[in-house]
Structure 1
Amino acid sequence: MSKRIDVTDLNVFYGDFKAVEDVTMVIEARSVTALIGPSGCGKSTFLRTMNRMHEVIPGAYVTGRAVMDGQDLYAPGIDPVVVRRQVGMVFQRPNPFPTMSIYDNVLAGVKLNNRRMKKSDADDLAESALTGANLWSEVKDRLDRPGSSLSGGQQQRLCIARAIAVQPEVLLMDEPCSALDPISTLAIEDLIHELKNDYTIVIVTHNMQQAARVSDRTGFFFNIAGTGKPGRLIEMDDTATMFSAPSVQATEDYISGRFG
């Protein structure tokens, strides 16, 4: 189910502005890849290129290749909607649809994709997605309540349930814990550990400890030429190596807190 992504010479533009330059990396299947680096160095922009979400901004485009399971996500004729079905996204702030029930929130993406289901199939899918997001036991008796009635940490797990209900192969997470308290953060981190058995996961985080705890590999982004210049992937390695013996001085300076 989960897929590896091979990125080669990827550049991201917003009109004339180059936001990300010459990124080449392998995102391994069934693993967690963390992207770290200071604000404004292209981590989230790069993340959004993996499911073509950046294209919703007028004038945004990409050069280079991002190949998943032998298919270039940017090849002519590839439908971005299909890409987004295969590559799910969880955002920084929990964003359940406020007027929808917990149940309808989980199935929103599935219905958007025009999948018609019998009620029993929809019930099974909602239960399996909520179970996968470690939320079923907490909400099974109030599925008709608004998604917005849940706590922040529960809302974020509801958004994860909504993402996995579509049955993607890859899950992108853009600082999924930055708006959460420590207990909710721990719940999400535990969940990420479980989800990597079934999904390829890429997480952007500003929390060094979190990157060290949840990821198998870590990539460090930095705009080495200064603010307003393109972000680049400076170094990427197994997380244990990155945090104990990085090969680039800038990586060590960032991880040790000397800047950023």
Structure 2
Amino acid sequence: MAKRIDVKDLNVFYGDFKAVEDVTMTVEPRSVTAFIGPSGCGKSTFLRTLNRMHEVIPGGRVQGSVMLDDQDLYASGIDPVAVRRTVGMVFQRPNPFPTMTIFDNVAAGLKLNGMRDKKKLTERVEKSLRGANLWNEVKDRLNKPGAGLSGGQQQRLCIARAIAVEPQVLLMDEPCSALDPISTLAIEDLVNELKSTYTIVIVTHNMQQAARVSDRTAFFNLAAQGKPGRLIEMDDTHKIFSNPTQRATEDYISGRFG
């Protein structure tokens, strides 16, 4: 199920402004890749190019290629909505649909894709909630509003919603930044479990989190405010944190800037 991502010579624009410049990288399947770097260096912008979410913003466009195994996500005739089914996303703040029940939150994407069979929906919702380590906490209140859950539970509900449609890649944009330490640990444990099934890419400002959960780490930086973000270095996480090849990476990790 999990897919390999190959990015080559990618430039990201918003109108005339170049936000990210000349990124080439490979993300291996069934692994966790973390993006780190100072605010404004293009981590989240680049992440959104991996499922074409950046196009939602007017003027958003790319040059270069993003390959999912052997399919170019930016080839002519490729449906962005289909891309987002294959490459799911979990956002910085938990965003359950406020008027929907816990059950309907998880089932929303399935229904959108045409699944109507109540038995199949029920089975998939339970499977997804179990996959997000949330089933035991909510199984007796599936008809209660999703917005009534705690922040950490809401984020796991959003993960359940994302994996319900069985994507091959899961993108996470600072998924723990609004959570307390206990909820953060629960999400990190879940990421470690999910990587056996999915290709996971996570943006985080928490370098300890990157060190804990990721197999590989990519460091982004920018020369100055208003300049495009660039990929400075990408390697196995233990090497990035113990023996990076670029001075800028070492300076950022050691807290000298950022």
**TM-score where L is the length of structure 1:** 0.99
Matches within 5 A, 1:14-163: 14-113=14-113, 115-163=114-162
2:244 aligned partner, one-letter code = P
Shift in Å, 1:11: 0.3
The secondary structure found in structure 2 opposite 1:104 is helix
Distance 1:142 1:36 in 2: 37
Q: Residue by residue, what CA displacement relative to the aligned partner does 1:111-136 show, whole Å, maximum 9, x if unpaired?
A: 222x2231111100000000000000
Partner of 1:241: 239
1:236 aligned partner, one-letter code = M
Distance 1:57 1:40 in 2: 17
Distance 1:173 1:78 in 2: 23
Matches within 5 A, 1:216-235: 216-223=215-222, 225-235=223-233
Partner of 1:179: 178
CA contact (8 A) 2:110 2:121 kept: no
Q: Residue by residue, what CA displacement relative to the aligned partner does 1:70-89 show, whole Å, maximum 9, x if unpaired?
A: 00000111100010000000
Shift in Å, 1:54: 0.3
Partner of 1:201: 200
Distance 2:107 2:214 in 1: 28
Distance 2:247 2:34 in 1: 19
The secondary structure found in structure 1 opposite 2:38 is coil
Distance 2:16 2:111 in 1: 37
Over the matched positions of the two proteins, sequence identity in percent amounts to 77
Structure 2: stretches of 5+ with no match in the other structure: none
- Quote the RMSD (CA, aligned, Å): 0.5
Q: Which portions of structure 1, spanning 4 or more consecutive aligned residues, are displaced by more than 4 angstroms? A: none
Partner of 1:251: 249
Distance 1:176 1:228 in 2: 26
Q: Residue by residue, what CA displacement relative to the aligned partner does 1:34-79 show, whole Å, maximum 9, x if unpaired?
A: 0000000000000000000000111110000000110000011110
Shift in Å, 1:163: 0.1
The secondary structure found in structure 1 opposite 2:75 is coil
**TM-score where L is the length of structure 2:** 0.99
Shift in Å, 1:92: 0.2
